[in-house]
Structure 1
Amino acid sequence: MTAPLPLTIPHAAAEAARRWGDASALIEGAERRTFAQLWDECRAAASALLARGVQSGDRIAIWAPNSREWVVAAIAAQTCGAAIVPLNTRLKGREAGDILRRTHARLLFTVTGFLGIDYPALLAGEDLPDLIETVLLDRDFTAFVATGKGAQDPAIDTALDQLTPDHVSDIMFTSGTTGVPKGVLMTHGGIVPQVGVWIGNTGLAQGERYLIANPFFHSFGMKVGWVACLVAGAVMVPMPQFDVAEAIRLIEQERIAFLPGPPTIFQMLLAEHERRPFDVSSLRGGTTGAATVPPVLIERIRSELGIRDIITAYGMTECVNITSCRPGDPVNLIANTCGAAIPGNEVIIAGDDGRELPRGETGEILVRGIGVMRGYLDDPAATAEAIDTEGWLRTGDVGTMDAAGYVRITDRKKDMYISGGFNCYPAEIEKLLAAHPAIGMVAVIGVPDERMGEVGKAFVVLRPGMTLSAEDLIAWSRDNMANYKVPRHVAFLDELPRNAAGKVAKLELA
């Protein structure tokens, strides 16, 4: 990266328009936008928000799949000094309502037509006193933008001039051991430098077409997704959800160069390529997740898909990038580690006392640096639990570090398990299941699953005189929680095993 990094995400959009104005910025079906056109759309949408009195410190929620409108709405809100609140598209009304209330979101951008879900209808019964307006991105966005004074509104420049790296850019929600999702406060100054390092490590280049299948409500899809495209001058090609046939069509027709994702995406593409070889000549680079990847998969991604610059990296909502492999690292290192601390971060393996352990010993992964979150929304106790007085963030992941500083994740300190790429927190799922009238007690653990990596298994103790089948509980769960949280297995017990302190002994359940 030779040019100085932009101050904030909207400044990145403005700078991209100045540097690469007529170059392609976004491809979505028949829709094409240059960087100049995209920035004009963001400015016009910002004017509409300013006309509604949106100002610095406000929160604007986005509950929608990946799209051009998502990007425009986000940059527009941030231009006004507001923080965006991205909502997982799999949430149910009760879960989304809780987040909207806790963030005091003033405006919600959402859709009606994704996977047959009417998102506003899910919120019909929710009390949302701070929400002044809901705008449907798939129906009303053009009309909404037209209510402002247009891209030349001088109030936009005034707002942009007041925007600093210390402004909160977004509040992404991640669950915790308390069972209550926590809002992670991230600043522009915590994101943009990390994106710059990530671009350097991946080689993402101006003009390269980047297939963004990772959801925008996630750090991966937003920060090292479309924000990275703005900073690097790469072309965003958003996918609302990953579909292997559509991905192959886009790779071939749009000449995709950069493709990141969890190992499952690459396994699906490789399986299709074996059945029906497709044109991979445009593919160059990509990243895959922190999970240990078989070396043979890295070799196949390189040789069969042509992604010669594939690296592994590790991050989390509370710190976008923690470690990363580097270009030229050997296959064995890329497959068996998640890299070393990126510039701007310090990473150590610590014992329970928080002190660094000798290299090779197993302990909790701690990170300190510019990319660490400001804290959890309205939760100083949880913030203090996560970040110590010296600024070290406890990741909750357990691992080792070799002599060269490369980290290998071996376990998770918390109960969390990962199902299909989504973090699942048993305490939160237990809390949702406990609302079922037949359930007296419940404990959830992650169990291995060939396709999803892990899935939930619920151990249920029924209330006296109640009956319930596994099928009925799973069906009820699908109506009351996001799909990835739904337990796939249910076991009924007379009582849950407990340890001497009275806590459920989950090791016995496992």
Structure 2
Amino acid sequence: MRYDDEFLSIPHVIRLAAERFGDATALIDGDRRWTFRELKDQMVDAVRATVALGIKPGDRVGLCAPNSAEWIFAALGIHGAGGVLVPLNTRFKAQEISYILRKSEAAAVFASPFLGNDYVGELRKADPGLPALQRTVSVLGPQGTADRSWNDFLGAGEGLSTSAAHESIDRLTPDDVSDVMFTSGTTGHPKGVLLTHGQSLRAYGWMAEEYTFRTSDTFLVIPPFFHCFGYKAGWLASLMHGVTVIPMAVFDAGRALDLIARERVSILLGPPTIFHDLVNHPDRAEHDLSSLRVSMTGGTTIPESLIRAMKTELSFDIVMSAYGLTESTALVTTTRVGDSEETVAHTTGSAIPDVQVRIVADDGLDVPIGLDGEILVRGYNVTRGYWDDPDATASTIDAEGWLHTGDIGRLDDDGNLAVVDRKKEMYIVGGFNAYPAETERLLLGCESVQQVAVIGVPDERLGEVGCAFVVADPEHPTTEAEVIAWARENMANFKVPRHVRFVDQLPRNASQKVLKDELRAGFTAVG
């Protein structure tokens, strides 16, 4: 089924959902609830207000707010007016946000104070001439330094007819750009990835069907909405299939357990750290988790022991893993229902329909099955390019349409992809290529290692060697020498970390990716 043919655009999803699911609960945020019909009305009001704000088709609009009902309303309003959404990382500082708003030539910014940050106020200090500051809307809470509160914003749209809002939505097509999603900037300034309505609808409509989303489900969405994981695999995929959405602004394992039990949550997707924290929470056994049904985790190595714990301790029937990057609408491969724990733990499954995956050597030629190389992707999910950056686009997507991911992986005989590491994170130990993600996966087999991140560090004799930052299992205390001795027993010598540093927790960003630059900056040799 082609979901981009059925839904046409993201706002069209909400209109059809209102017809199909009516008075069923679409959205829960705290003690507030909206049916699918009420969600459609909220969207139409936001579209009217966004048009009244002066946003024209094609205008980019920044959105910086925590996971919330209002984030969804604002996004739908921007889309429905024909605008292009620019989601902003709520952990970014003013200078980082200013760069993205200037680069995307944003015409307005919707924001909300969060975690002590007044984004609009900080932007006014850091970059007072920023064009987006000519139209600022406070999405949540008090108006603060924004030009308009959310209620004032909606009130200004009352002069526009409802029919005019629907006409604006009707002009959208699957080929229209819906978002400019800025990458994390790990290799320099963030780059804006262009994605269309149709790409997201086709990919995540299929994903939700494959993952067995159904109208009786409730999805607690923990990954941030500024990332495709929370936005497209989260609330968008849910609303397409009549699933109730519960946004969670800040992850807290205890509060998540309360919500799961109270609201009978059945779907929970996220990075492994979320499930690890739930499994190990001291109050877990006091909560009824029997409603949990579907999960997907990815973005890092997954020990088989965690998959088993997700099924036995958290009651999941289905545990999946997947791989994607922003430039591929964040979905390339996924395991399938019924795959073994070994397949889920050690691969990210096979390519989604109508998408191709190749593994190539440095010379661009395909490597044999089972050998490592760069992952290339081609299909409808690949971005049209980077915003206002033709050189970066040309260096990433070749003339035949293949996206060069910069990730290292291998395919097995069944077409399942194992992601070995980022090409740029590889280090060379005495002439041997070492991939941190592979070493991390192996180290997770040590009962003393609860979490781990590996980086390459300088070494006088070998050039580079591995350093493992380990969160130890408190029930199995260990030492640096013991971890290294275990590694020597279980992996090739060049993969064995020469240094082990014990930490209470690994530094992570809002998407729960480990901040390896912080680990590198904090590394000091001992002895």
Q: Offset at 1:367?
A: 0.8
> Displacement, 1:158?
1.8
Residue 487 of structure 1: aligned partner: 518
Give the residue type in structure 2 aligned to 1:299. R
Match of 1:449 in 2: 469
Compared CA separation, residues 150 and 360, structure 1 to 2 (3 A) = farther
Counterpart selection for 2:164 from 139, 155, 163: 155
Give the whole-Å Cα distance in 2 for the aligned partners of 1:446 and 1:111. Answer: 41
Deviation track 1:52-98 (CA, whole Å, cap 9, x = no partner) reads 22111101110111000000100110111111000000000111011
| Per-residue deviation, residues 350-399 of structure 1 (Å, max 9, x unmatched) | 11233322211110111111111111010011001111111111111101
Map 1:79-478 to 2 at 5 A: 79-112=80-113, 114-123=114-123, 124-126=125-127, 127-138=129-140, 139=142, 140-149=149-158, 152-176=161-185, 178-272=187-281, 276-319=285-328, 320-415=330-425, 448-451=468-471
Count of aligned positions: 446
**After superposition, what is the alpha-carbon deviation per residue over 1:319-373, rounded to whole angstroms, capped at 9, x for unaligned?**
1210000001111111110000011211111112333222111101111111111
Which structure 1 residue ranges, 5 or more long, are not aligned?
427-444, 453-477, 494-507
CA–CA separation in structure 2 for the residues paired with 1:186 and 1:283: 32
Matched AA of 1:346: Q
Q: Compute the RMSD of aligned alpha carbons.
A: 3.0
TM-score w.r.t. structure 2 length?
Answer: 0.79
- Quick one: which amino acid aligns to residue 313 of structure 2? E
Q: In 2 relative to 1, CA 67–129 (structure 1 residues): closer, same or farther, beyond 3 Å?
A: same
Cα 1:52–1:209 shift into 2, 3 Å: same
Amino acid at match of 2:119: Y
Moved more, 129-138 or 268-277: 268-277
CA distance in 1, matches of 2:87, 2:42: 20
Question: TM-score, normalised on structure 1?
Answer: 0.82
- Segments of 5+ residues of structure 2 without an aligned counterpart are 143-148, 427-435, 441-450, 457-464, 473-508
Aligned-residue offset at 1:207: 3.0
Secondary structure at the residue paired with 1:302? helix
**Could you tell me whether the CA contact under 8 Å between 1:78 and 1:169 is conserved in 2?**
yes
Aligned to 1:460: none
Distance change in 2, residues 1:401/1:270 (3 Å): same
TM-aligned CA distance change 1:483 to 1:109, over 3 Å? farther
Q: Which amino acid aligns with 2:135?
A: E
- For 1:381 and 1:96, how far apart are their aligned partners in 2? 23
Q: Which amino acid aligns with 1:450?
A: V
CA distance change for structure 1 residues 346 and 491 in 2, over 3 Å: closer, same or farther? closer
CA distance in 2, matches of 1:446, 1:239: 36
**Structure 2: distance between partners of 1:330 and 1:488:** 34
Q: Does 1:57 align with 2:88?
A: no
Greater RCO structure (CA 8 Å; 6+ sep):
1
